[in-house]
């Protein structure tokens, strides 16, 4: 739950307290980096609810996904191809997949009322 709290606080700080305009030539890189970061965060949350979370895997996935995504966007720019679109589709697919794992966990979580377990 702590990573989700940090994520929400980071979005609030970034959205309301830090005013920074990204130059248009870097917008593709930033968009893919944000999606790679969100993919890692939601992947970490999904791994946590499945009791498979490993901090080393989370950090390495966070950094490697971001670097690989930026490298693919750069390569696409050099070749004159819109490779970043494929990265966006892939990360959005993974975001929805991880979100569905989290949603299923929350919906199937047993509810306790008056110390009675509901199965």
DSSP string, 3-19: HHHHHHHHHHHHHHT--
Query: What separation in angstroms does the CA of 26 have from each of 16, 18, 23, 31, 70?
Result: 21, 18, 6, 9, 10
pTM comes to 0.71
Residue with tokens 């929350």: 106
Give the helix ranges, DSSP H, for the chain.
2-16, 27-49, 55-79, 83-108
pLDDT tens by residue, 47-98? 988 889 898 988 898 888 888 888 888 898 899 888 888 888 988 999 999 9
User: 37 is written with which tokens?
Assistant: 């970061």
């Amino acid at each position: 739950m702590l990573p989700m709290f940090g994520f929400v606080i980071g979005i609030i700080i970034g959205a309301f307290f830090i005013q920074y305009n990204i130059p248009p030539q870097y917008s593709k890189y930033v968009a893919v980096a944000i999606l790679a970061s969100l993919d890692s965060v939601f992947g970490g949350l999904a791994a946590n609810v499945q009791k498979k979370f490993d901090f080393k895997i989370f950090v390495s996935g966070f950094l490697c996904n971001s670097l690989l995504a930026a490298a693919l966007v750069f390569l696409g720019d050099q070749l004159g191809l819109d490779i970043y679109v494929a990265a966006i589709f892939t990360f959005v697919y993974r975001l929805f997949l991880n979100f569905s794992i989290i949603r299923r966990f929350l919906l199937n979580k047993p509810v306790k009322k008056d110390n009675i377990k509901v199965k």
